[in-house]
Amino acid sequence: MRLRQNLNDVFLFVIAVEHQGFSAAARQLNIPKSTVSKRVAILEDKLGLTLIHRSSRSFSLTEAGQIFYQHAKNAVDEFRYAEENLLMRQQEPSGVVRLSASVPVAQYILSDCLPELAERYPKLLLQLEVTDRYVDVMSENFDIVIRSHFHTLADSGLIQRILSHENIIAIAAPCYLAKVGSIHEPQDLVNHAGLWSDMQMNPWHFQHRSGEKCSVRPNIRFMANETEVLKGAAKRGIGIALLPEAFCTPELSDGGLVNVLPEWYAGSVTTSLLMPTRRGLLPSVTTTADFLVEKLKK
């Protein structure tokens, strides 16, 4: 689609309004006053509207000029931001980046990533607040918030970037399995000791890789709404727990824990990165976000 207006004319109009006159705008741009006046007149002619009341002593916008100025200024501001952002990206990212994350995310996801980021960009000052409470990104002035969630996040007007999807698996210690024997399908868990994170004591819902679904309720042996506590109980052989696979990777690798139902999973957890709108974001923030997405997305 061909633009009806010369964008240079729109830019000159915005500068003239910002500096309250053609003379001041011309001095700012180091061009003749007549050029500014002529180009704005051409813009008005194409629009078929008078944008500026002119006299030897005053410079003011008409009603139409005020409306046009607001939209034109937004466009010019976006261009300025894009230009400044690109220029700053050519420099080494620097400055403070304030992040918030829940305890599990900090322990299992960010504990390695953020030190690596700090090494890569020495001029960045990363400030991580670890809390499981709900934080208001805007009012608390966070640049980035990272949270794991089981359901789709509501539309909050924030930028949402998905870092990972993790299956939730049933895990137990070899010493527990040595006492109770093998487990082949979810229904086998009915008589087993369950380590519960859900204080509502809802059944455990499983889905097979083929799509088959089933529900089961193990015996309640232990309850905690904290991942590390549940994993610790499982490692001691107290029972079977449902945990995100990524949170158990070291123990699954060294044999400290076993995925007792490798063909089944009990739902999934999504980890998302949230940021305020891109307007006004600093390169230090986008650099941090891009690094985390590159490092964690899968």
Whether 235 and 111 map to the same domain: the answer is: yes
pLDDT of amino acid 286? 87
Whether 298 and 158 map to the same domain: the answer is: yes
Q: Would you tell me how many other CB atoms lie within 10 Å of the CB of residue 294?
A: 10
Whether 277 and 232 map to the same domain: the answer is: yes
Closest Cα partner for 95 from 292, 291, 287, 295? 287
Look at residue 48 and tell me if it is in a domain.
yes
Whether 140 and 235 map to the same domain: the answer is: yes
Tokens 């930028």 locate to 159
Look at residue 2 and tell me if it is in a domain.
no
Q: What is the mean pLDDT of residues 197-211?
A: 87
Closest Cα partner for 101 from 138, 131, 133, 142? 131
Q: Among 89, 120, 147, which residue terminates a domain? A: 89
- List pLDDT tens digits, range 287-297: 899 999 988 87
pLDDT of amino acid 2? 42
Whether 178 and 77 map to the same domain: the answer is: no
Tally of structural domains, the chain: 2
Does the pLDDT at position 218 exceed 70?
A: yes
Whether 168 and 62 map to the same domain: the answer is: no
CA–CA gap between residue 162 and residue 143 (Å, rounded): 16
Predicted confidence band of residue 136 (pLDDT cuts 50, 70, 90): confident
Whether 156 and 174 map to the same domain: the answer is: yes
pLDDT of amino acid 201? 77
Supply the CATH number for residue 38's domain: 1.10.10.10
Whether 82 and 112 map to the same domain: the answer is: no
Whether 194 and 248 map to the same domain: the answer is: yes
More confidently predicted of 182 and 145: 145
- Phi and psi at 275, nearest 5°, equal -140, 155
Closest Cα partner for 152 from 270, 273, 265, 276? 270
More confidently predicted of 108 and 36: 36
Whether 152 and 66 map to the same domain: the answer is: no
CA–CA gap between residue 294 and residue 130 (Å, rounded): 22
Residue 246 Cα distances to 164, 176, 213, 298, angstroms: 10, 21, 23, 11
Predicted confidence band of residue 5 (pLDDT cuts 50, 70, 90): low
Are the CB atoms for 35 and 11 separated by under 8 Å?
A: no
Are the CB atoms for 144 and 275 separated by under 8 Å?
A: yes
Does the pLDDT at position 226 exceed 60?
A: yes
What domain range includes position 291?
A: 96-298
Q: Would you tell me how many other CB atoms lie within 10 Å of the CB of residue 99?
A: 22
Q: Among 60, 89, 118, which residue terminates a domain? A: 89
Q: What is the percent of the chain with per-residue pLDDT over 90, rounded to a whole number?
A: 44
Whether 75 and 106 map to the same domain: the answer is: no
- List pLDDT tens digits, range 42-59: 999 988 889 998 877 778
Whether 164 and 269 map to the same domain: the answer is: yes
Look at residue 119 and tell me if it is in a domain.
yes
pLDDT of amino acid 77? 80
More confidently predicted of 169 and 6: 169
Does the pLDDT at position 262 exceed 90?
A: yes
Supply the CATH number for residue 108's domain: 3.40.190.290
Q: Would you tell me how many other CB atoms lie within 10 Å of the CB of residue 149?
A: 11
User: 3-state class of 260 per DSSP?
Assistant: coil
pLDDT of amino acid 206? 95
Please list, in sequence order, all residues whose beta carbon lies within 8 angstroms of the beta carbon of residue 61, skipping any fewer than 6 positions away: 17, 51, 52, 53, 69
Residue 48 CA from chain centroid, whole number: 44
Least confident of 76-90, 154-168, 170-184, 251-265: 76-90
Q: Among 67, 89, 111, which residue terminates a domain? A: 89
